[in-house]
Amino acid sequence: MNSSLPYSATPLLLFALASIISPDASRATETKIWQEISGEKALAHVQRLVDFGQRPSGSGAIEKSRHYIEDQLRRSGWRVTRQAFTDDTPRGRVQFVNLIAQFPDQGNTAPLFL
């Protein structure tokens, strides 16, 4: 595979977006997760991310992707924070950003890294 990214984030993004429960947080407690997830919804989220274009760290497309994921998680009732860090890569020092999502009922003990 000839990619400008050293690591592929596609499987992680698929999992993260498929895990988004509902755009209405009040419905999240009334509906079982398996009733809200579908292949069609996951594909629509992935297509939206693909439409942003290539997403190397530091690009406008990766920032748009982060905003989209944050927005979708917040609409589902999650609290989202960013964890920025810089690391050495074969291409030099690169800034990365983890999105950390916590569902309010779980307190600070169960973060999910997306």
pTM for this prediction: 0.62
Q: Answer yes or no: is 5 within a domain.
A: no
Domain count for the chain, please give it.
Answer: 1
Q: Answer yes or no: is 105 within a domain.
A: yes
Q: Answer yes or no: is 39 within a domain.
A: yes
pLDDT of residue 89: 92
Q: What is the pLDDT along the chain (114 residues), one digit of tens a residue?
A: 444 444 455 555 555 555 554 445 444 455 666 677 888 989 999 999 999 999 999 899 999 999 999 999 998 889 999 999 999 999 899 999 999 999 887 555 544 444
pLDDT of residue 96: 94
Q: Answer yes or no: is 63 within a domain.
A: yes
Q: Answer yes or no: is 53 within a domain.
A: yes
pLDDT of residue 95: 93
Q: Answer yes or no: is 4 within a domain.
A: no
Q: Answer yes or no: is 23 within a domain.
A: yes
Contacts of 69 (CB under 8 A, 6+ apart): 13, 16, 17, 49, 99, 114
Q: Answer yes or no: is 2 within a domain.
A: no
Domain boundaries, position 17: 10-113
